[in-house]
Amino acid sequence: MDIREGIKSQFLDLGIELSDSILDKCVEICVLHNTDEDAFVETWMAYSVTNLEGEAPTIETLSTMERKEFANKSKPNSTNTPSSRPSTTPLTIYNKTPTSSKKPAVENWNRLENITPKGTKNAGLFGKHLSTPVSQPNFSPASFSPISTTPSGKYSTRTNAGEAVVDFVERTPGDWMGKERVALTIAPYRDEVLTTRCRIMMEPLSEKAAVLNDVIERVGSYLVEINGLQESTYNHSVSATEVVCVGRICCDSNDHLNPSSVLLEGSRVKCLGHSVLLDLSRLTHFTLFPGQVVAVVGVNPTGQRFIATKLYHSAPLPLPPVLPRFTAPIEIVIAAGPFTQTDSLTYEPLEDLMRYVTSYRPHILILIGPLVDLRQPQLTAGSIAETYDDFFDKIVKGIVNQLKGSWTQVVVVSSADDAACLPVFPTPPPLSQNPSPPLHLVSDPALLSINGLVIALTATDSLMHLGKEEISFPPGGSDRLGRLASHLLQQQHLYPLWPPSEGLTVDSELWDAHASLPLTPHVLVTPSHFRYFIKHLHGCLVINPEHLTKGTAGGTFARLEVEPPTDDVWTPASHISVQIVKI
């Protein structure tokens, strides 16, 4: 692409179509001052926002900008004398929160977004913002480059916004809009809450081994109890008759699990922590993954190979004993990050979600991190001009401010992929400067009670991690996503995989204390890169809303309508309606 086409394309992205004469002037400036099209357009945008309040270029304004911005750069250096001092120009920061009486830069950017020159045939990226209210919060960070706050082209051209792609409806829901204020109390279900004051990654190997052993004994004993099995035995005991062994599934190498490499690691009390090779050849079907606690019935003729004839791995706990109590139906909106595209830091999907929330007035908005995604290319490139903590607070403050005067309460779930959070799982919530009453910052994972409605939330992609390690026979079974989601309930844990997936740093003591499930929740929300779904498993509604953005494109979010009990009868399947909607 030549310089002329490059300039034309970049201005079109800003919703500005240049005439031939103005294009000629732009090319002339670039050639005279040896400047490429990227630097030229950035310079014009900075000049226009600072001096012209975002106006489109004309021949006159281009000439003025050339004299002020490029002429000085072309002058030869002055003679070095003792009295001469180098001129210093402050580094331009775009979208910075104002600290003086001057008009804030964000106002100028909003004006630039809303200006389209007369006769423009292509509205470009800003066309969709023409009807955006001036009061719409800006979630973009202060940046060293205006490119970071340039909207995404692919997102703005989507045509399926608001489309419901899947639903779970046992009774006819309303219009998904909050009708009246409902007194709601959002509280942690557990007595112990994970905070940044907890000791993180300070555990000797003996403590880690003790935690893993406790999981075997807790889940294993429950498996034996609910299936009416005899007491488990030492896994290396020679036996020609069927016995029961309980333990954790392991791999005999650092490679992926396969049917020939499965080990059964026993508990300290019964098996001294020893492992035995598990022979699966007599099983007609099985589903296994590392870390899974199972009860196996079989024989061990030599003491070195346990030949399994039956295998038990499903140990879901009962639902909460107390029914939820509401005076009226409640509306809940759930969205999972990332909340901006990979090619932009404008947070357009989050702005669109907030427009939906202010229109539909749900009682609860749940945002599952990351809010400040560590994997966002422009963040990793160091293009933002504020700290991650300040940027996180800016986003949270923008959300809360827009909901002032409404009944919507906001829950933000932390994430190890959030730049403002600790990179460890479980992840404590960050210390925000805006802990106002309608805002609840919770850990990942979180188990919440909303007037008795128990919701489990996690920002970690447990399903994808399990999917990479799970083996199943016979292969090609139906409903793989349902099977993966069932593992979380059957193993009483929101992240049952052990060892954890590469790249996820896990504190084993906190993992057992805050990721285990003391009961089966009414609703389990586990966002994943797998395709969105809603499933009714073991009495629980399991929801994968996917993510609000997928690369440079828009994603999906979930909305729930929860009905109050009818004649003291209430179940998740009969009283909760769910839809997954395109942003």
Class of the CATH domain delimited by 205-312: mainly beta
Least confident window among 68-82, 227-241, 488-502, 512-526: 68-82
Torsion, Cα 168 174 178 179, to 10 degrees, reads: -160
**Closest Cα partner for 249 from 275, 230, 223?**
275
Looking at residue 70, the DSSP 8-state letter turns out to be I
Write down the pLDDT at residue 103.
35
In the chain, CATH 2.40.50.140 sits at 205-312
525 and 366 Cβ atoms separated by less than 8 Å: yes
- What percentage of the chain has pLDDT greater than the value 70? 85
The secondary structure of the chain in percent helix, strand, coil, rounded to multiples of 5, reads: 30, 20, 50
Mean pLDDT across the chain, nearest whole number?
85
Dihedral sign, Cα of residue 152, residue 153, residue 154, residue 158? positive
In the chain, CATH 3.60.21.60 sits at 164-193+318-582
Write down the pLDDT at residue 44.
85
Write down the pLDDT at residue 100.
37
Residue that is written with structure tokens 């959002």 in the block:
186
Q: CA–CA separation, 54 vs 28, rounded Å?
A: 22
Residue 354 has pLDDT above 50, yes or no: yes
Query: How buried is residue 210: exposed, middle or buried, by Cβ count under 10 Å (0-12/13-18/19+)?
Result: middle
Tokens representing 184?
Answer: 């709601």
Residue 475 has pLDDT above 60, yes or no: yes
Q: How many CA atoms lie within 13 A of 164 on its CB side?
A: 12
Mean pLDDT within 355-379: 95
Write down the pLDDT at residue 436.
66
37 and 7 Cβ atoms separated by less than 8 Å: yes
Confidence of residue 195 (pLDDT cuts 50, 70, 90): confident
pLDDT digits (tens, 9 = 90+) for 262-290: 999 999 998 999 999 999 999 999 999 99
444 and 413 Cβ atoms separated by less than 8 Å: yes
In the chain, count H helices and then E strands. Answer: 16, 22
Write down the pLDDT at residue 191.
85
Q: CA–CA separation, 230 vs 349, rounded Å?
A: 55
569: β partners: 566
pLDDT digits (tens, 9 = 90+) for 153-175: 778 888 889 999 999 988 777 89
Q: CA–CA separation, 458 vs 488, rounded Å?
A: 11
Confidence of residue 332 (pLDDT cuts 50, 70, 90): very high
257 and 468 Cβ atoms separated by less than 8 Å: no
Write down the pLDDT at residue 142.
65
Q: CA–CA separation, 102 vs 90, rounded Å?
A: 16
Residue 120 has pLDDT above 70, yes or no: no
Q: 84-120 burial, b if ≥16 CB within 10 A, otherwise e?
A: eeeeeeeebbbbeeeeeeeeebbebbbbbbebbeeee
Q: CA–CA separation, 524 vs 457, rounded Å?
A: 6
Torsion, Cα 410 413 419 421, to 10 degrees, reads: 110
Tell me: domain 164-193+318-582, CATH 3.20.20.10, correct?
A: no
pLDDT digits (tens, 9 = 90+) for 503-534: 999 999 999 999 999 999 999 999 999 999 99
Least confident window among 217-221, 356-360, 427-431, 443-447: 427-431
Is the pLDDT higher at 425 or at 25? 425
Residue 16 has pLDDT above 90, yes or no: no
543 and 525 Cβ atoms separated by less than 8 Å: yes
Mean pLDDT within 364-383: 91
Write down the pLDDT at residue 526.
98
Q: CA–CA separation, 15 vs 121, rounded Å?
A: 9
Least confident window among 61-65, 92-96, 255-259, 408-412: 92-96
Write down the pLDDT at residue 435.
60
Q: CA–CA separation, 224 vs 527, rounded Å?
A: 32
Dihedral sign, Cα of residue 54, residue 56, residue 59, residue 62? positive
Is the pLDDT higher at 335 or at 438? 335
Confidence of residue 358 (pLDDT cuts 50, 70, 90): very high
Residue 77 has pLDDT above 90, yes or no: no
Q: CA–CA separation, 95 vs 559, rounded Å?
A: 32
Residue type, 96: K
Whole-number CA gyration radius for the chain: 29
**Closest Cα partner for 305 from 281, 284, 283, 276?**
276
Confidence of residue 110 (pLDDT cuts 50, 70, 90): very low
Write down the pLDDT at residue 312.
98
Tokens representing 294?
Answer: 């199972």
Confidence of residue 38 (pLDDT cuts 50, 70, 90): confident
Confidence of residue 130 (pLDDT cuts 50, 70, 90): very low
Mean pLDDT within 344-365: 95
Write down the pLDDT at residue 31.
83
Write down the pLDDT at residue 96.
55
- What percentage of the chain has pLDDT greater than the value 90? 60
CA distances from residue 312 to 115, 287, 304, 318, 345 in whole angstroms, order as listed: 65, 10, 21, 18, 48
Is the pLDDT higher at 555 or at 135? 555
Least confident window among 100-104, 501-505, 522-526, 560-564: 100-104
**Closest Cα partner for 401 from 346, 438, 440?**
438
299 and 243 Cβ atoms separated by less than 8 Å: yes
Q: CA–CA separation, 79 vs 73, rounded Å?
A: 16
Angle (nearest 5°) at CA 105 between 24 and 373: 100
Least confident window among 81-95, 99-113, 317-331, 505-519: 99-113
Write down the pLDDT at residue 314.
97
Residue that is written with structure tokens 């690691």 in the block:
265
Confidence of residue 193 (pLDDT cuts 50, 70, 90): confident
pTM for this prediction: 0.77
Q: CA–CA separation, 414 vs 224, rounded Å?
A: 36
Write down the pLDDT at residue 409.
97
Is the pLDDT higher at 42 or at 238? 238
Q: CA–CA separation, 306 vs 239, rounded Å?
A: 9
Q: 526-563 burial, b if ≥16 CB within 10 A, otherwise e?
A: bbbebebbbbebbebbbbbbbbbbbeeebbbbbbbbbb
DSSP readout, 505-573? -B-HHHHHHHSB-SS--SEEE---SSPPEEEEETTEEEEE---SEETTEE-EEEEEEEPPPBTTB--HH
